[in-house]
């Protein structure tokens, strides 16, 4: 064998080993955590490690083999102690597995890094002298302190994008389908030859019998017609057969992408263990249904929402060990993920036995950040109040930390789930725990959506988010103090104009039908749409241009090549609530004349936030202009030199708030216009930077309300 061929073969073997070893490392991490937290016998760990050691040795990864051998010795020592391992032992083993992962990532085997040598020395110091000699590794050095534990979970094993492990029976099924297609192809080719023969026969008959009697000519053409009819019948049968085979092929190829849910769930125990330790919590993660198979693409999309739910449970829901002990709960909390399949839908349940969610706290917080007004919050049932925790920017935690307080996590969960055409429900009991139920299609290849036009644009909603389509004339508009509404099934639903919400006022046709959209138990009526059509579609994630648009979740490619934007039902509900709150505030509080001669510019990339701040200013008599980012704001200032005050978000695309502040202060004219910075971060560092750049005031969005806004703005705009 040529040297180049031999080297290429060895390289393929190494790459295969790296892939297999990454999977074994994931199983070793899980087996150790089961031993550490549940006392499960580590026999499975030792079997897996023994196999990994042999594979590493055969493929030239000698340093991996030695390190695994050393870890085996330490695990046996801990097991023979007949007690669960302590935290130090757990950190040491997991650190060793991380080192194996680092060794596997090296481009070429054979290198022994200093970190591995230090780890080896540390473990050898804990082994009996006889075993320390057996597990000695060249190049050992003084013990090193364990590395810091990351607070942010990350998958323990390498992500292998584009690869799926396929069972042999699925390959056999696909092979059978391909065989049927090849046979059908042969039949079609024969039919083409037969059709060609009949066509030539018809041509010959036409020439030969041009001058023959009509009766003979009729018999000749009759033979041609009969031949064509026979071919047509066979072609029809073959077409039906091909349709069946194509459906079978579609089903088989979908099955090829089906992957056990465990390949995703096994990524979570290790980072959650680290997170719980960092927060002084003891948490056991129980997983059921990991054998359930789902589309690989769905698996990848579910990783982020599941990670947020699990992390929220540890950070927000589960109490620390001392608190649980005081409450009479087991010190070790239970976090459970259960997967099951009902029909063509996957059901994921994430539950914990922590503190639960206090509906009164959520009510107060929803009012503080203007998701609801006080009257709505007081009258709304707990189920409706709980839906607000999914809103963008909502967080019950006032202090932003590395883990929470930004109001992002649960909004991501809802965005992904509804973008997949699914639903998410939450149930909770104070002191007992919280449960999230997620329902999504088992495959993401095809979903059902309701498509429609608004103005000149094409839009859609997942079919699961559409309760009904009703004739506009059958549900007349009701004049309500909270704004326009319709009566539907004895319920008064807020009426949202999609043309205004989407800025699609041009080309809007007659409003003949109203969409009743649903998010959880909440309903909203949508007017201004036309050309409604429900069909199966392939949902595509939105490009970065739309990632900051709260109303948008995904896109659908239409037959003419254009895109239809798929909307989020939850954000439409929140927008309708905001519209109600503004209507109620306008009716209850007449505009104050003190700022009536002032012009304000509100800059924020969120249309909802722009709307809330602008309406609050208009309620005090200010005239308001808006811009979606810093660059657009500078264009507005150039065109409107009479702006009296600027209120700007800090985190925006293109030009952020800090850049806008500096640009305003550099202007030859209007450089002294007062600027109020408004931010979700709310940290002292950003506040200091904003004030140093020339802001007159700084408002934390988590503390935002209309009274605070006017107290901040009025000294800057009200003239004596």
pLDDT digits 0-9 by tens, 550-588: 677 777 877 666 788 888 888 888 788 777 766 666 555
Class of domain 260-441: alpha beta
Task: Say what the pLDDT of residue 392 is.
Answer: 63
Segments of 42-131 assigned E as strands? none
Rounded to whole angstroms, how far apart are CA atoms 356 and 432? 6
Sole residue written with tokens 């194509």:
246
Evaluate if residue 128 carries a pLDDT over 90.
no
Q: How confident is the model at residue 250 (pLDDT cuts 50, 70, 90)?
A: low
Rounded to whole angstroms, how far apart are CA atoms 221 and 157? 72
- Dump pLDDT digits (tens) for 415-452: 788 777 788 889 999 889 999 999 888 766 567 889 99
Task: Say what the pLDDT of residue 545 is.
Answer: 47
Residue scoring higher pLDDT (404 or 650): 650
Q: What angle do CA 379, 384, 390 make, to 5 degrees?
A: 135
Task: Say what the pLDDT of residue 153 is.
Answer: 35
260, 235 in Cβ contact below 8 A?
no
Tokens coding 51: 């196999």
Least confident of 9-23, 635-649, 674-688: 9-23
Rounded to whole angstroms, how far apart are CA atoms 535 and 518? 18
Evaluate if residue 646 carries a pLDDT over 90.
yes
Average pLDDT of 676-691? 81
Tokens coding 295: 């589309």
Task: Say what the pLDDT of residue 404 is.
Answer: 46
C-alpha 285: how far from chain center: 22
> What CATH superfamily is the domain 589-717?
Response regulator (3.40.50.2300)
Give the chain's mean pLDDT: 76
In 3D, which of 254, 11, 296 has the Cα closest to residue 162?
296
pLDDT more than 90, % of the chain = 7
H or E stretch at 417: helix 409-419
Rounded to whole angstroms, how far apart are CA atoms 173 and 57? 36
Average pLDDT of 664-682? 78
Evaluate if residue 201 carries a pLDDT over 80.
no
Tell me how far apart the terminal alpha carbons of the chain are, to the nearest angstrom: 95
Q: What are phi and psi of 591, to 5 degrees?
A: -60, 140
Least confident of 46-50, 145-149, 545-549: 145-149
Tokens coding 22: 């990454």
- With 0-12 / 13-18 / 19 or more C-beta atoms within 10 angstroms meaning exposed / middle / buried, residue 105 is exposed
Q: What's 200-267 look like in SS3?
A: HHHHHHHHHCCCCCHHHHHHHHHHHHHHHHHHHHHHHHHHHHHHHHHHHHHHHHHHHCEEECHHHHCC
Residue 328 C-beta-side C-alpha neighbours within 13 Å: 2
pLDDT more than 70, % of the chain = 72
Q: What angle do CA 325, 328, 332 make, to 5 degrees?
A: 55
Residue scoring higher pLDDT (247 or 265): 265
Evaluate if residue 129 carries a pLDDT over 80.
no
679 three-class SS? strand
Q: How confident is the model at residue 648 (pLDDT cuts 50, 70, 90)?
A: very high
Task: Say what the pLDDT of residue 1 is.
Answer: 47
Average pLDDT of 605-611? 76
Q: How confident is the model at residue 526 (pLDDT cuts 50, 70, 90)?
A: very high
Rounded to whole angstroms, how far apart are CA atoms 505 and 495? 16
Task: Say what the pLDDT of residue 592 is.
Answer: 44
**What CA–CA distances, in Å, run from 185 to 191, 245, 247?**
10, 11, 16
Q: How confident is the model at residue 176 (pLDDT cuts 50, 70, 90)?
A: low
Task: Say what the pLDDT of residue 608 is.
Answer: 66
Evaluate if residue 136 carries a pLDDT over 60.
no
Tokens coding 375: 């009257």
Q: Are strands 332-342 and 345-352 parallel, antiparallel or unpaired?
A: antiparallel
Q: Which residues contact 210 (CB under 8 A, 6 or more apart)?
A: none
Evaluate if residue 167 carries a pLDDT over 70.
no
Task: Say what the pLDDT of residue 171 is.
Answer: 58
Rounded to whole angstroms, how far apart are CA atoms 447 and 119? 51
Residue scoring higher pLDDT (342 or 178): 342
Average pLDDT of 649-673? 82
- Dump pLDDT digits (tens) for 691-710: 888 889 998 766 667 777 88
Evaluate if residue 161 carries a pLDDT over 50.
no
Average pLDDT of 649-665? 86
Task: Say what the pLDDT of residue 350 is.
Answer: 93
Task: Say what the pLDDT of residue 510 is.
Answer: 61
Architecture of domain 3-134: Up-down Bundle (1.20)
Segments of 353-465 assigned E as strands? 423-429, 433-441, 447-454, 457-462
**Taking the alpha carbons of 378, 384, 389, 393 in that order, is the dihedral positive or negative?**
negative
In 3D, which of 519, 515, 293, 297 has the Cα closest to residue 418?
519
- Dump pLDDT digits (tens) for 137-158: 544 433 333 333 332 333 333 4
Q: What angle do CA 45, 47, 52 make, to 5 degrees?
A: 95
Edge to edge, the sheet with strand 623-627 lists: 623-627, 599-603, 645-649, 675-679, 697-700
Average pLDDT of 103-118? 73
- Dump pLDDT digits (tens) for 449-483: 899 988 888 899 988 889 899 988 888 787 776 77
């Amino acid at each position: 064998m040529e040297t180049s061929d031999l080297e290429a073969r060895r390289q393929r073997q190494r790459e295969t080993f790296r892939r297999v070893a990454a999977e074994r490392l994931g199983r070793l991490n899980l087996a150790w955590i089961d031993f550490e937290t549940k006392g499960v016998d580590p026999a499975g760990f030792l079997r897996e490690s023994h196999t990994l050691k042999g594979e590493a040795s055969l493929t030239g990864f000698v340093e991996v083999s030695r390190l695994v051998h050393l870890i085996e010795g330490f695990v046996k020592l801990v097991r023979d102690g007949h007690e669960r391992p302590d935290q130090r032992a757990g950190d040491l083993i997991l650190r060793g597995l991380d080192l194996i992962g680092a060794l596997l990532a090296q481009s070429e085997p054979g290198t022994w890094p200093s970190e591995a040598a230090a780890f080896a020395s540390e473990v050898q110091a804990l082994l009996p002298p006889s075993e320390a000699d057996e597990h000695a590794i060249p190049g050992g050095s003084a013990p090193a302190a364990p590395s810091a534990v990351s607070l942010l979970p990350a998958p323990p094993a390498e992500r292998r994008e584009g690869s799926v492990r396929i069972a042999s029976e699925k390959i056999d099924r696909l092979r059978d389908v391909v065989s049927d297609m090849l046979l059908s192809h042969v039949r079609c080719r024969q039919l083409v030859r037969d059709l060609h023969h009949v066509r030539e026969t018809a041509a010959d008959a036409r020439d030969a019998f041009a001058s023959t009697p009509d009766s003979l000519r009729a018999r000749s053409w009759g033979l041609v017609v009969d031949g064509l009819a026979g071919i047509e019948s066979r072609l029809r049968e073959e077409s039906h057969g091909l349709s069946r085979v194509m459906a079978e092929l579609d089903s088989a190829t979908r099955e090829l992408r089906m992957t056990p849910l465990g390949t995703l769930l096994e990524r979570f125990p290790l980072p959650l263990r680290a997170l719980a330790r960092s927060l002084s919590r003891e948490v056991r993660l129980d997983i059921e249904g990991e054998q359930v198979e789902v589309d690989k693409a769905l698996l990848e999309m579910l990783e982020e929402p599941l990670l947020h739910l699990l992390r929220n449970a540890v950070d927000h829901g589960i109490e620390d060990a001392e608190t649980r002990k005081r409450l009479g709960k087991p010190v070790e909390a239970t976090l459970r993920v259960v997967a099951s399949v009902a029909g063509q839908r996957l059901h994921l349940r994430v539950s914990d036995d922590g503190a639960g969610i206090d509906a009164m706290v959520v009510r107060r917080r929803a009012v503080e950040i203007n998701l609801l007004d006080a009257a709505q919050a007081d009258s709304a049932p707990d189920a409706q109040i709980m839906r607000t925790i999914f809103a963008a920017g909502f967080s019950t935690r006032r202090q932003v930390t590395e883990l929470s307080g930004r109001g992002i996590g649960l909004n991501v969960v809802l965005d992904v789930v509804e973008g997949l055409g699914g639903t998410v429900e939450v149930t909770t009991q104070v002191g007992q725990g919280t449960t999230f139920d997620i329902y999504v299609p088992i495959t993401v290849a095809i979903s059902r959506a309701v498509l429609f036009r608004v103005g000149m644009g094409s839009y859609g909603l997942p079919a699961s988010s559409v309760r009904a389509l009703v004739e506009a004339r059958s549900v007349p508009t009701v004049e309500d103090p909270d704004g326009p509404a319709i009566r539907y099934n004895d319920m008064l639903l807020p009426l949202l104009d999609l043309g205004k919400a989407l800025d699609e006022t041009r080309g809007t046709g007659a409003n003949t039908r109203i969409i009743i959209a649903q998010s959880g138990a909440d309903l909203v009526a949508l007017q201004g749409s036309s050309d409604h059509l429900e069909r199966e579609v392939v949902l595509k994630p939105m490009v970065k241009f739309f990632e900051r648009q709260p109303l948008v979740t995904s896109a659908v490619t239409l037959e003419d090549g254009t895109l239809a934007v798929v909307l989020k039902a939850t954000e439409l509900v929140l927008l309708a609530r905001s519209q109600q709150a503004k209507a109620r505030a306008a009716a209850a509080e007449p505009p104050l004349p003190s700022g009536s001669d002032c012009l304000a510019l509100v800059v924020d990339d969120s249309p909802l936030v722009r709307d809330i701040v602008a309406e609050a200013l208009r309620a005090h008599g200010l005239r308001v202009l808006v811009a979606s980012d810093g660059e657009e704001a500078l264009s507005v200032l150039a065109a409107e030199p009479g702006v009296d005050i600027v209120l700007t978000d800090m985190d925006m695309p293109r030009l952020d708030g800090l850049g806008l502040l500096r640009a305003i202060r550099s202007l030859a004219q209007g450089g002294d216009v007062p600027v109020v910075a408004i931010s979700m971060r709310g940290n002292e560092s950003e506040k200091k930077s904003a004030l140093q750049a020339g802001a007159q005031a700084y408002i934390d969005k988590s503390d935002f309300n209309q009274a605070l806004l006017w107290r901040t703005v009025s000294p800057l705009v009200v003239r004596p």
